[in-house]
Structure 1
Amino acid sequence: MTLLLVMLVVLLAFSNRDIGVWLPDPHPAPEPAQAHVLEGLPGLLEGLPAPEAAPEPVAELPPVPEDEVQDPLAGLSLEGLGDDIQVLVTENAVRFRISNEILFPSGQADLTPRGAEVIDRLATLFQDGYHRIAVEGHTDDVPIQTARFPSNWELSTGRATSVVRRLEAGGVASVRLRATGYADTRPLEDNATAEGRAINRRVELTMEAVQ
């Protein structure tokens, strides 16, 4: 009986040890191969696009002092603009009208030296203000079709853009500027005469009141 009891104890001890072998370790040690799965693979991430940079903050108009008069004419000195610029004053805006014959060669959108000088005068007037400035290009109804300007839409827009770029170079904040081309859709005179077509070919800069 004693011998049988001893044998049962020994078998029970071996049985517990086998069970311990198959039980999962509650605190397994990390395996090196799993902890560094990407190590030893040079160039795996090469060629992937770099993370995109954060977008640039959108420029905003400078703050308008509370005591700033909202009249577009307030503080403006229109003397010295010359006869090349026609000034039209309305209740909420001031419009500066310039003939295309002064600003551009025929069928082109690059400012002439005289045209650049006229826009520089306006840039000096605009650069320290708060008002938005809308630049509009207008043509007559004579069609144009070139590689650069397939129609008067492109020509009028190109001319307005050239004026905006010159104003920006003259110190006017770009956030205050916008360019629009209207082609021949907003004539001032009848396009049936040479005089009327000449009047319709123009650039207008509108300085809008601050809302």
Structure 2
Amino acid sequence: MTAITRNQAAAIASGTLPVEDPGGETWMMTYLDMMTLLLVMTMAMLALAGKSHELARHSAKLTVAPVFSAKSLTSIDPPGALLRVHQAPAPVVEAEPAPVVAVEPEPVTVVEPEPPKPTTQDLLNELPLDKLGNDIEVVTNDSSVSFRISSEILFPSGQSDLSLGGLAVLRKLIPVLDSVPHKIIVAGHTDPQDIRNSRFPSNWELSGARAGSVVRYLQSNGIQPNRLAAIGYADTRPLADNALAEGRARNRRVELILER
């Protein structure tokens, strides 16, 4: 049975008589139809491929930059860089505000003025001087009060041991000296006449020994030893003219200096 071509079918459908294909070229039409279909499919695929390429480019802009670049691939790390452990930066911790501490004001130190130093007259007013008698001379100056006693009353001539009369005079001084806490300096004085004996080679030894005898007596009668001092001045501090007998007698003395 002979196959009916598309042209023959079309002619039959339209009511016309089919024309015979004398050269047998009916296959050409089928080939062209297939080529047209392939062309259309190719164009559609190219269109879809173009849209996919644009979509990929748009997505690449939204992604993170590539991990590798030409610079990173060609750079040379220093020795040991591969062994170095990269540490994450320490988190920044905000410092808490310092608490407000109430500072109490420092107390104001009030410096009280020192009490005025007592005057010589104040010292005299403290001393019971009414029972000293005439054998003790009270001498005052800006810094002290002195009790002056003649060596003729206290000691035998050329000696340093206290006489009975001297002990009686010094006994009157004990309550006076004991009534105040001040330091007492006992000073012995002589005239310039040489003594030169085996016990006292000079007036230095004599004046010092007489001052020491008075100090020992005061200590034995209750005066604290840390208040006492004995000094011998020999004839270096005369009160009167040594050319006269009266002057030499005045210069031979013992003074008890009460320092305020």
Q: Is the shorter-chain TM-score for this pair beyond 0.5, marking a shared fold?
A: yes
What's 1:80 paired with?
131
| TM-score calculated relative to the size of structure 2 | 0.53
For residues 72 and 171 of structure 1, what CA distance do their matches in structure 2 show? 21
Distance 2:116 2:166 in 1: 36
The corresponding residue for 2:174 is 123
Count of matched residue pairs:
144
Alignment match of 1:182 (pick from 233, 248, 252): 233
Q: Which amino acid in structure 1 is aligned with residue 166 of structure 2?
A: G
SS of the residue corresponding to residue 81 of structure 1 reads: coil
Contact 1:127–1:170 under 8 Å retained in 2: no
3-state SS of paired residue (2:124) = coil
What residue number does 1:167 align with? 218
The amino acid that maps onto 1:202 is R
Alpha-carbon separation, structure 2, partners of 1:73 and 1:147: 42
CA displacement at 1:125 relative to structure 2: 1.1
The answer on 1:155 being equivalent to 2:221 is no
| Distance in 2 (alpha carbons) for counterparts of 1:121 and 1:68 | 27
Deviation, 1:194, is 0.5
Alpha-carbon displacement from aligned partner over 1:93-134 (angstroms, at most 9, x marks no partner): 111111000000000000000101111111121124210011
Residue of structure 2 in register with 1:101 after alignment: 152
Aligned to 2:183: 132
Q: Is the 8 A contact 1:72 1:208 kept in 2?
A: no
Q: Is the 8 A contact 2:200 2:206 kept in 1?
A: yes
Deviation by residue 1:161-188 (Cα, 9 ceiling, x = unmatched)? 0001111111111100100000000001
Does 2:251 match 1:196? no
Letter of the aligned partner of 2:247 in structure 1? G
Distance 1:68 1:128, change over 3 A: farther
Residue type at the aligned position of 1:102: I
Per residue, is there more helix in 1 or in 2?
Answer: 2
For residue 242 of structure 2, give the secondary structure of its aligned residue in structure 1: coil
Deviations 1:135-184 (A, max 9, x none): 00000000111111010000000000000111111111110010000000
Structure 1 unmatched runs, 5+: 1-65
User: Which one has a bigger Cα radius of gyration?
Assistant: 2
State yes or no: 1:206 paired with 2:257.
yes
Matched residue SS, 2:197? coil
- Determine which structure has greater relative contact order: mean sequence separation of CA pairs < 8 Å that are 6+ residues apart, divided by chain length: 1
TM score, norm. by length of structure 1: 0.65
CA-atom RMSD in angstroms: 1.7
What is aligned with 1:146? 197
* Structure 2 gap ranges (5+): 1-114
